[in-house]
Each structure stands twice: as structure tokens, then as C-alpha cells.
A and B are shown apart, each in its own frame.
Chain A
Amino acid sequence: MELISLLYGIYPRSETLRKTYGRWERGQMDANEISNVIKDESNAYYDLVKEASLDYFTDPLFNWHDILRPIALSIEGITLGPLARYKATNTFYREPEIEHIGELGDMSSFRVVEENPPFPVYHELDSQSYLHFLPGINSFIKMSKVVGDVSEIREGLKDRYLEIIEKLRIRKLLIYEPFESKDFSIYGDIIEATATFLVTNGNGGDFSTIGSRRFFSIIGDNPYAYAKYCEVPGVKAVDALSTKIGDEAVQRLKPFSSDFDRLIVSNTESFDFLPRVIADRKVFTFKGGA
């Protein structure tokens, strides 16, 4: 069985970056300076994932305060509400309040925004391995306070995502649904527009509504449930909620080895839940090396 490695989500900030943000928040550094540090840190991350020979990786999202924030700040009609707990963790995000889905703002230029480090949203790498990251539409809604009509907002988000794909000329996209979803029909147009990796939670859900279209990959806990809806199924195996370094990923994948020719192996959650020093070691464990 061929293993294909994938690292997705927010990567933990280095001490340098955390301290830099602290100085910026205290007004001791201007937005241009911090933007340069984010760029440098992103480049160092790309060097690391190349050294680890990861097949695919998302942007490190070093200027994302949480997995929704920059997207929420880019769409008119969405404002930031109070802090809310992210699942059953000790990490919090600002709960978006969605009244309607309006125009898409500029995501790719340098600009100062409220309540988040300066944009651009992504620090792209010209590489076949690089994936843009977007939070799943179903989870976005679940994690928000929705004032307007839910189905209109769902459709609106999909339209904005299609616009993002077009404007940024996204070739490969990773969508992360941290909450269990039942219905994935909303992604039909998106998977036609670009090669899409979907990271799901739970055992599957209903993919039959996407028709004959296929994701490039669906990554979850049970590849048997979604293998026929994608080119390459995947399994979340590298534990982002444990500091143990070992061959857990390989062990987790062993039972599937006789049933699949190729399998993507990914992290279970953003590495942002780990101390940076552990994350930097775990990137070398996706295919077994500790």
C-alpha cells in the first residue's frame, strides 16, 4: 500500500512569532514589520515540511487567530461575536455572527484588519504539494450564530468559496469539517472547480448527493465509508492531541493495508494543539519514522 502524507490546519507559532505578535499588539511594531516576520516564518515552515518529505501540506496559517477568523473578516455580512469554546478543548475562537453573505473582500493583498493580524490570508508556495485551506461550510455555520436564513447563508458561503477559488486560482484546496456533517451536497460545484481534499469528522455521512462527481480525497476515520466518492481515501492518524512520538500512524493504518492500494495519512486535528517543539518532530512521523 502506498502511503501519501498530508498535514493540514493551523501550525503552531514559534516563540519568535508569538513574541512578535505581542510586540505588535502593544503597538511596538507596525503592520509591515509583522507581515515580514509572518512571511519568514511561513518560509521556514515550508523548508521543514520539505525536509520531512510531506506529500501535501496546507498553508501554515500563521496569521489566522482561529480557523474561521480570516474568512469571517473577508465576507461582508459576518461580524465577530464573543469567544466560544472550540469543541471540548481549552481553545477558544471568536464566534462569527452571520446576518447575510455579502461581498468578498480582498484576501490576497497586504492590509490591516480588525481583530486579526494583517492580511494576506495565505502565504502561498508555488508547489504541487501546497494546499489552500478553507473551513468546512457545514462547520462554519455550526460554529456561528446565524441570524439570517440558514439555507441562503449556506448557498452564499458556497458562492463566496467558488469566488475565492477563482480569484486566487486555487489548484488544490483542503476543506476541513471539524464537526460531523451529514450532507455534503454543498460541495458539488466546488469539487468541479478544483481538486478538493475534504477532512471530515465521524464515520462518513451522506456523499451520494454529490452525484457522479468525486473529491480528490476524503479523509476521516473509516475509509470504507467514503472510498468510492474520491480518488484517494485517507485516514486521520497522526495524533494532534498527544505529545507521544511514535509509529502510531503506521499502526493505525495497518488494518487497511490489504484493502487499499493508496491511502492518505493525515494528522487528526490542527497541530496548533501541540507545543511547537512536538509538532516539529511529529511532521517526521507520518510514514512511520520517529
Chain B
Amino acid sequence: MSELITQEIGSFRKPAYLSSKFRSFKGDEFKSVARKATLETLDLFEKSGLMNVGVGGEMYRWEMYEHPISRMDGVKIFGPVRSFDNRYYNKGSVFDTIRRREPFHAEEIELFKGLGKRNIKVPVTGPYTLMDWSFNDHYSSREELAMAFGRLMNQEIRELKAAWGEEVLQIQIDEPAATTRPEEMGIVLESVNESVKGIDGVETHLHVCYSTDYGLLFNIMPSLDVSVYNLEFANRDPVSLSDQRKGYEDVKRFRDVADTMTRKISLGLGVTDIHRDFMEPAELIEERIKYALKYVDPDRLRLNPDCGLRTRSREVGYQKLKNMVIARDRVADSL
């Protein structure tokens, strides 16, 4: 079954027994608790009918930026800076040449390989976003730092692939900052390509969300070594039933560029909003899928939430995935 594959994006709300003590667990105790949370989340994903289970909700990671940054030399975290309101993230200061001190995601690959799960997708934080979210107190330019992060991510992905074995491994490069600065799209292009350069047997996804102009991304698609673009759309779409899906108009622009390429690329369509508890009924999700199918063939269309579901409770997150699967099955039956 390769039409309308359902997938999640990455994060899922951690159970309280993990999140409340995340930073205080030590060594083996952490591994055991993170494993337990991953298995429980995996169970939820499978119960929802999800076809690709990611890495079980990123239970080993506190958040997407700090996780890799805190495993590098040459970067120091002095403390949190504000993201919005009273929400903060630990922003690293690059003060020296960066080096990977330890692998970022080896434990997840080992776990899933051991479980015999093949339908996984490993999210990794993209080099441009790592650069954009860091203080650069060492490299001579933003480009130089992004490329340095690109080389580190290449090392990481190469090792993940080696640990995974012969089968194709899906890697999702998360680049929420990708379209923040239109003048730096060239840096996005070069640093993302650097991350996967020379690595065979990987299906590369790129996740971008909350962009004010996907056109910037679409423009560089022909030169990006990426096969699947997992994008947010639901957040910008009204929730009323209508065949005019305003939030999905960029799907046509995606198709227009994809049609110019000899290499086939796919679209991961964000069909549920992760910023709200509002439960999109399956009918609404069906309409969104059908709208996208006007422009993208079903074997080139995958379905996912807009972004990681960590912002929602586990119950809401589960139901959103479930409704997505119900909608997908209805549409698939009608094809």
C-alpha cells in the first residue's frame, strides 16, 4: 500500500513520568524510562492506524534544538532565551569549531531495529535551523556555520544509515527556520545538501512549517537533494467544510515546480492543526486530501499533522491521528 501514506512529523507529548523528571534521570534509568515511553507511544500510533510511526514521538529528546546541540563540542548553553510569552529555549553559543561529541539519535535507531519495525522515519534537526537558532561567536559568517552544522549532520545521518542496514532509511530534516530570511535560501540549499551528501540508501524528507512564503522553498526544490516535503497547511486553512481550501492553495505551486523536475518528489500534506485542541472531523480532513489530490497523484501524497504533536495532550494527539487515518481510508477507498 503506497498511496496516501500516513505519517507523523516527530514529537508527541511525553507522559508525565518522563517529562517531569526528564533532566534528572541518570544514564540507564533515563534509557529505561525513555524506552518505556517510546513503546507506549508506538502502541498509540499503531492503534491509530498510522502507517509510518516515526521514532515513537521523540521520547529521548527534550526538544529538537537542545538535543543535538548539547551533544556537540564548541557550543555552550548559557541559559534560556525567550521564544514567546513565557516560553523559552536553551540557545547555544558557538564559541569554537563545532564537533559531534556523541551520536544524537543512535538509541532510537537501535531500539526500532531491535523491535523489527521497518516503517520508521528519523527526524533530525536541520543545519540551517541549528545555525539560525544559535549565537555565532566563532565562525566568520552564517553560511560558514550552517555548512559546519551540515557536515556534522552528514556524519550523524551516515552513522544512522550504517546502523540501520541495507534497507532504505527515511530521514526527515527539520528546518522550521528555512524561509525566515529570503536572502539566505542559498545557504538553506547548500547546508541541507551537505547533510546528505554521498549517503546512499536514504529517503530524505524535509519538514518546514509556519512559513510566510513557501514559494521561497519551492524555488530551490529542483536543486535540493530531498524526495519528500512535509509541510504545514492546516493551520492556515479555515475549518468550515468547503471545496475551496484556502490554506492549501500552495499545493498547486508545489505541483507547478514539481512538474518541471525530472526527479519525482512527494508532498507530505499537513492536515491537522497542532496548535489547537479543535478536533478536525474526518470530513474536513477528507476535503483537504481531496483538494490536494487535484494537483498531486496519490502515490506522491503523504498525510501528516502540520508539525509535531507535543503541544497537544496525548489524548488529543491520538484522536487527531485517528481522524487523519479515518479520512485517509475513506479517500483511498474512493480512488
Question: Which A residues have a C-beta under 8 Å from some C-beta of B?
Answer: 12-13, 15, 18, 21-22, 25, 65-66, 83, 85, 88, 90-94, 241-244, 272-278
Chain B residues positioned under 8 Å from A83 (CB to CB): 84
Q: How large is the interface on B (under 10, 10 to 19, 20 to 34, 35 or more residues)?
A: 20 to 34
**Cα distance, A15 to B132, chains bound together (Å):** 24
Chain B 134-155: CB-based contact to A (< 8 A → 1; otherwise 0): 0111000000000000000000
Residues on B with beta carbons closer than 8 Å to the beta carbon of A90: 83, 89, 132-133, 177
How would residues 74 to 89 of chain B score, 1 for a CB under 8 Å from any chain A CB and 0 otherwise? 0000111111111011
Interface of B is mostly: strand
Q: Which residues of A contact B136 (CB under 8 A)?
A: 242
Q: Known contacts A21-B86, A91-B84, A242-B135: does B79 contact A276 (CB below 8 Å)?
A: yes
The one of A25, A273, A275 in contact with B78, judged by C-beta atoms closer than 8 angstroms, is: A275
* Nearest chain A CB to B107 CB, angstrom units: 27
Docked pose: A65 CA to B85 CA in angstroms = 5
Whether B180 contacts A85 by the Cβ 8 Å rule is: yes
Q: Is the CB of B86 within 8 A of A243?
A: no
The verdict on B91 contacting chain A, using a C-beta distance below 8 Å, is yes
Check A25 against B91 for contact (C-beta < 8 Å).
Answer: no
What would 16 A/B residue contacts be, using CB atoms closer than 8 Å? A12-B82, A18-B88, A65-B85, A65-B86, A66-B84, A83-B84, A85-B180, A90-B83, A90-B133, A91-B84, A94-B84, A242-B136, A243-B78, A273-B81, A274-B81, A275-B91
Q: Of B78, B85, B135, B180, which is within 8 A of A241 by CB?
A: B135
The 6 A-B pairs at the shortest CB distance, nearest first, are namely: A275-B79, A92-B84, A275-B78, A243-B93, A21-B86, A65-B85
What is the CB-to-nearest-CB distance from A30 to chain B, in angstroms, rounded to a whole number?
17
Q: Are A275 and B81 touching (Cβ within 8 A)?
A: yes
- Determine whether the beta carbon of B85 is less than 8 Å from that of A88: no
**Among candidates B78, B83, B86, B177, residue contacting A278 with C-beta atoms closer than 8 Å:** B78
Contact of A65 among B79, B84, B88 (CB under 8 A): B84
B82 and A277 within 8 A (CB):
no
A66 to B89, CA, bound (A): 16
B181 interface residue per 8 A CB criterion: yes
Known A-B contacts A18-B86, A93-B84, A275-B79; A88 and B135 likewise in contact (beta carbons under 8 Å)? no
Q: What separation, in Å, do the CA atoms of A244 and B96 have in the docked complex?
A: 12
Residues of A within 8 A of B89 (CB): 90
Complex Cα spacing A85 to B213, Å = 13
Once A275-B91, A277-B78 are accepted as A-B contacts, the answer to whether A22 and B86 lie under 8 Å apart by CB is yes
Complex CA gap A243/B79 in Å reads: 11
Most chain A Cβ neighbours within 10 Å, of B78, B86, B181:
B86
**Shortest Cβ distance from A17 into chain B, in angstroms?**
9
**Residues of A with C-beta under 8 A to B80:** 18, 275
- In Å, the complex CA distance between A90 and B88 comes to 10
CA of A93 to CA of B83, assembled, Å: 9
B84:A243 contact, CB within 8 angstroms: no
CA distance A254 to B106 in the complex (A): 51
Contact partner of B86 among A25, A94, A242, CB < 8 A?
A: A25
Residues B180 and A88 in contact, CB atoms below 8 Å apart: yes
Cβ–Cβ < 8 Å partners of A278 in chain B = 78-79
List which B229-260 residues lie within 8 A (CB) of chain A. none
Chain A residues whose C-beta falls within 8 Å of the C-beta of B78 in the assembled complex: 243, 275, 277-278
Contact in complex: B181, A88 (CB < 8 Å): yes
- Closest B residue, CB atoms, query A116: B85
Within 8 Å CB of B88, what residues of A? 18
Interface residues of B in 83-110 (CB under 8 A from A): 83-86, 88-89, 91, 93, 95
Known A25-B86, A275-B79; further 11 A-B contacts with Cβ < 8 A: A12-B81, A13-B82, A18-B80, A85-B212, A91-B82, A91-B83, A91-B84, A241-B135, A242-B137, A273-B82, A275-B80
